[in-house]
Structure 1
């Protein structure tokens, strides 16, 4: 049986969907592993959970110590060479210069390759160049590639000609939201957002990545001035709205970054959770919204969203719908979709890969 070491740099990063996947998989894997079977290698002074069976290894090479990309590309592969372990990389990045073609990589999506039109400024082009370098390396070096949907698997095969038997689909899940306590102050006397009333607002979580399609939500607010649209995300969303000429909409409430507890309350009490994405490998926010009790989720009508949410979401046809939340294909029984996804089952599938004799 092969022994693996996890690139744990993601524990130093802000948690988004990619980091969430890594954190939750390891938490469930820890319940299944033998003691010492898997190591988690992290930069010194990195805070990690207390595991029962995963061994946490703070590591820094005294000569070539670094942080960020340099740690992942210098320190981590040096530890691999020293320990003789193979790499398990959960967040789209592998050590480019590790010896041999050995390891398992999770490649969540290939958006930077599939949609270069999303990354047209200098920063975007530089980011795309780095990620596409990683995609190429993963396709060439990984013994096994894990991805998060059949759609993403088909994209990896399409753009990088990887044989289908090298790619395993291991889905995201939602059970982490059960540990989140809803914030009772969202609608309390001293709320930060007095305009929000339970059941009377559309809720969206966005950022400036073009695939999130933030302008669509603004156009929806423009078309439906009698409804309130609450948008969570970074403060620069207001600057983007200004650049689009849509900063004047009085029915849009910018929430800024919200805590998990605030998000859970906002999801539960919204009129609908709106997710008009243009491209995703999985798309976890609507699943989280359903888990929190959102009465409806409205998602874009794309192959990935159809795969993940089936008949249990309301679908927006972005080819014909430019901001109309009343024009959609209705879904049925949104909560039923939760039965399809489990971190525990995803961890069991990952454990099977870790223990394969052929690797």
Structure 2
């Protein structure tokens, strides 16, 4: 069975899709199957380093990227298929070519955000992108998604007869390096801190976390800091970083809330290693990779009651009501006071994280691939 994995999108991916693509490629290399031959459209490491289209500074640069992406999907990728003659094409970035292909397809649609949260995307771009998604589903395609929750959402919005399979992904491999200089640089090594690591997308509900932290400090003797690490949201509509930054100033929390921006894997390891707890108040997730990263690092987790997160954590996290400052505040206070609860969450989190290794991730793909044999 010859399988072509489309990795072109790695040249701009910065969030969970990048993790998905990189970990799938690495797992395929590290876990060979005698009946599967993998062909990568690009070298994953080299493609991820390509900065040609990253962080466009104007409309012309954004348009140039979209044209490049369209050329790849509709012309260059079909040409590669003609050259290599794979039995199966896997597109892990929502979009498969609209052209008729001589092979079967699997398309990974990670979540239903584009349908459920239209306010977070430019109208023209959302219309264009959803058009690409639907055109790529015209031919027989196996859709792959990340959770049972996402599957139900896609069935509702796509109204498709294509089969949809759930494959739990694996969190990002952060390696073993530790860069503890970040603790000294932001003066967070001497005080316990709550951590959120991820982009400042609006759906992450980070203003709610800041307000909950402020109220916890006012209600109790709450001698903690709050570290919000990660890059800005992916678009003007989605970016909450300026809002969070202004809120921190308005609440007088400049000395208590740390905004270090994007951090390296080595810095992320140091933050996870020293965090008192990880807090993830997101209002909508298809999976929730940071929850598993934190659990794997032995960090207790507080997360919202968003269904995908409840499904992934499976009782190993402390659940707070989505969008409620009061409930999130109380959960943070509870965890700060109850060391037995904290230790129990650490133990359950480590056990749950073991269910999401790269071996299980690729095995599920291998089984689905082999089931697609002619």
1:3-37 CA-partner distances (Å, limit 9, x unpaired):
32111213323542211112112222223234982
Q: In structure 1, how many angstroms separate the alpha carbons of the residues matched to 2:89 and 2:307?
A: 31
Please tell me whether residue 88 in structure 1 is matched to residue 93 in structure 2. no
* SS of residue paired to 2:267: helix
Cα distance change on mapping 1:323 and 1:218 into 2, 3 Å: farther
> TM-score, normalization: structure 1?
0.81
Cα distance change on mapping 1:238 and 1:346 into 2, 3 Å: closer
Q: Give yes or no for contact 2:5–2:40 (8 Å, CA) kept in 1.
A: yes
Q: Which runs of 5+ in 1 are unaligned?
A: 50-65
Q: Which of 158, 171, 176 is the matching residue for 2:173?
A: 176
Please tell me whether residue 335 in structure 1 is matched to residue 334 in structure 2. no
Q: In structure 1, how many angstroms separate the alpha carbons of the residues matched to 2:172 and 2:246?
A: 38
What is the total number of aligned residue pairs between the two structures? 331
Structure 1 residue 131, shift from structure 2 partner: 3.4
CA RMSD of aligned residues (A): 3.0
Cα distance change on mapping 1:316 and 1:87 into 2, 3 Å: same
Q: Give yes or no for contact 2:211–2:325 (8 Å, CA) kept in 1.
A: no
Equivalent runs, 1:272-291 vs 2, <5 Å: 272-291=277-296
1:294-328 CA-partner distances (Å, limit 9, x unpaired):
1x111111211111001100111025445743237
> TM-score, normalization: structure 2?
0.78
Q: Which of 238, 257, 265 is the matching residue for 2:262?
A: 257
Q: Which of 310, 316, 341 is the matching residue for 1:312?
A: 316
* SS of residue paired to 2:5: strand
Q: In structure 2, how many angstroms separate the alpha carbons of the residues matched to 1:4 and 1:175?
A: 23
Q: In structure 2, how many angstroms separate the alpha carbons of the residues matched to 1:356 and 1:241?
A: 47
Counterpart in 2 of 1:201?
193
Q: Which of 152, 155, 158 is the matching residue for 2:156?
A: 158
Structure 1 residue 285, shift from structure 2 partner: 0.4
Equivalent runs, 1:1-359 vs 2, <5 Å: 1=1, 3-30=2-29, 31-34=31-34, 37-42=37-42, 46-47=46-47, 67-85=68-86, 86-99=88-101, 102-119=104-121, 124-163=122-161, 166-174=163-171, 176-177=173-174, 179-187=175-183, 191-194=184-187, 196-197=188-189, 200-225=192-217, 226=222, 227-234=224-231, 238-241=241-244, 247=250, 248-250=252-254, 251-294=256-299, 296-318=300-322, 320-322=324-326, 324-327=328-331, 332=345, 333-358=348-373
1:216-256 CA-partner distances (Å, limit 9, x unpaired):
12212332345311111236755223565855432211111
